[in-house]
Structure 1
Amino acid sequence: MKSAVTICLVPEARQGPFVYHQGLADGCARAAKLGFHGVEIFPPAASAVKPAELKTLLRKHRLQVAAIGTGAGWLTKQWSLTSPDSAIRRKAIQFISQMIDLASQFSAPVIVGSMQGRVQPGIERSQALGWLADGLRKLSLRAAESRQVLLYEPLNRYETNLINRIDSAAEWLDEQSLEHVRVLADLFHTNIEQADVAAAIVRCGSRLGHLHFADSNRQAVGLGHTRMAPIIKALRKVGYEGYLSAEILPLPSSDQASEQTIQSYRKLVVRS
């Protein structure tokens, strides 16, 4: 399992759960200094990232792109895959597709989290889930063209009323035959929704594709009350070899949050 830390390029998300907010050059340098393997990037749009410049930074600091987030499409545009407005759904698919094309240049997956949307008043749940499945299918096939998967992130009940549990998400993806979609387990959300996070990870099995390494209070692992040892054991049981990516609040500061993260990663993963 590998370590990663988040870099946010979206001004509107400065209060969000991202560690670094001072640009790619700054974030990559800080991540490399602490020994992270990769960076997870949250851009305002695909066009905001210049591939050649990012490739230079990655080579310089010996980093990889762990994943690319798409939440800015919801945060700044309110676009989602389950909007009752078909024009908005098309815009959401186009926005995420452009992110997939960007990510393909770095052999990285793209995350669908907040852009999944929610069941709107007056819309049947089955209809919203149908729109979600349709969007994920189109996007995952695009990702598959570059031999990547699409990451679907179940959010907690306060952020969406679609699918909140990671094991439920894995089961639903199987039912929909979405073979190129994997589950992103965010430990902040799972702490709210799962009675036993480790058991839920085991039930996800090979559907698990990415993990947000966060404690119960959305701070760095070790600063909350999540029992991490059983979770790491479960990840090993299912053969997970992906990233533990710190999508966390930059508290007490960005540097302290990242230092706490890498210390927890080494204690739980490297030395155990």
Structure 2
Amino acid sequence: MPNRGNDSCPRGVRGMQVGVHLSLWTDQWDAPVVDYIDRAAQLGFDCVEIPLTNPEAVDVEALRDRLACNGISAYCGTGLGPDTDITSESSEIRARGRVHLARCLDIAHRLGSPTLGGVIHSAWGKREPVHSDARKWAVQILREAAEQAAEWNMRLALECINRYENSFVNTVSQGLCLIDQVGMPNVGLHLDTYHMNIEERSVDASIESAGQHLYHIHLSESDRGYPGGGNIQWDLVFSALRNIGYQGSAIIESYVRPGVQCGTDVCIWRAIEPDIDESLTRSLEFVRSRILRAY
């Protein structure tokens, strides 16, 4: 059976829906993104990823209307922070993390997203060694979130990110170990080629090791720019995705602008791309061409 990340999304190319992360255009993580849905559709994307950094500020109805008007589908992602870290020694912080995940799942469900991805296993930016009981705490809360997600036929996708941004789950093998301990069939992995290029000795072999547990993938260059302009070996990436039968979402998530929160927080100190939309259009064409070549 093909590994379909989302059977409800319209098919893009060879069963892969190529999307864009809407934070690419925003200055701040919790800025409204509704108008960028129009922009993504005009550029030709099949779907978008909507960040749920601050679920209380999300206008669900406005997003739903704009998605429907453009005939475009949504995926949702979030990230835990120091105040919502489910691996924290503080039971109060872990409780806030549980509530945050529940709220994000509710919004994702209402937006028609089949998956809630992102750094949902611990705090983004956590750079210290984790507590000896951290895994136990994370497993318990992720299992509860997975049960809630299952009621809506949704999945959780835990993102493996690089060592400079998190100290808990950096590699595919670590991610597989965690989802095995959670023990829920709707909990899988969210991979990102930028992070994998730092942490994995072989990006394509790691994708293949994820296999049927890969639920979501971000495409980003070695310099965090748009796919096609760096040294990521994209033919190997898409061949690996083909080999595991992946036919889900492929989201371009790049941060290319200095001087804004979304750039500063990921250490973007120079303009990675000269023209955002022009470069993004070329990258979309590049990604689709590589999918066609591989599939």
Shorter-chain TM-score: which interval? 0.7 to 0.9
- Structure 2 portions without partners, runs of 5+: 1-15, 257-272
Alpha-carbon contact 2:129-2:167 (below 8 Å) kept: no
Alpha-carbon contact 1:110-1:151 (below 8 Å) kept: yes
SS class of match (1:5): strand
Q: Partner of 1:18 in structure 2?
A: none
CA distance in 2, matches of 1:106, 1:147: 13
SS class of match (2:188): strand
Instruction: State the 1:10 CA deviation.
Output: 7.2
Alpha-carbon contact 1:68-1:110 (below 8 Å) kept: yes
Alpha-carbon contact 1:182-1:208 (below 8 Å) kept: yes
Q: Partner of 1:17 in structure 2?
A: none
- Mapping for residues 126-141 of structure 1, pairs under 5 Å: 127-141=133-147
Return closer, same or farther for 1:202/1:159 CA change in 2, 3 Å cut-off: same
Alpha-carbon contact 1:214-1:221 (below 8 Å) kept: yes
Task: Find 2:43's aligned residue among 11, 31, 34.
Answer: 34
Q: Partner of 2:96 in structure 1?
A: 91
Residue 256 of structure 1 aligns with an amino acid whose one-letter code is E
**TM-score if structure 1 supplies the norm length?**
0.87
Alpha-carbon contact 1:216-1:226 (below 8 Å) kept: yes
Return closer, same or farther for 1:143/1:235 CA change in 2, 3 Å cut-off: same
Return closer, same or farther for 1:36/1:206 CA change in 2, 3 Å cut-off: same
CA distance in 2, matches of 1:181, 1:256: 36
- Structure 1 portions without partners, runs of 5+: 15-20
Q: Partner of 1:13 in structure 2?
A: 29
Instruction: State the 1:256 CA deviation.
Output: 3.1
Percent of pairs identical after alignment?
A: 27
CA distance in 1, matches of 2:68, 2:130: 50
Return closer, same or farther for 1:115/1:24 CA change in 2, 3 Å cut-off: farther
Residue 173 of structure 1 aligns with an amino acid whose one-letter code is I
SS class of match (1:172): helix
Is 1:2 matched up with 2:17? Answer: yes
Task: Report which of the two has the higher share of helix.
Answer: 1
Q: Partner of 1:182 in structure 2?
A: 188
Task: Find 2:33's aligned residue among 23, 32, 35.
Answer: 23
Alpha-carbon contact 2:192-2:217 (below 8 Å) kept: yes
Residues 102-146 of structure 1 show CA distances to partners (whole Å, capped at 9, x for unaligned) of: 11113311124166124855832xx11111111211111111110
Return closer, same or farther for 1:243/1:138 CA change in 2, 3 Å cut-off: same
CA distance in 2, matches of 1:175, 1:82: 15
Instruction: State the 1:172 CA deviation.
Output: 3.3
SS class of match (1:182): strand
Residue 243 of structure 1 aligns with an amino acid whose one-letter code is S
Task: Find 1:116's aligned residue among 113, 122, 132.
Answer: 122
Alpha-carbon contact 2:121-2:142 (below 8 Å) kept: no
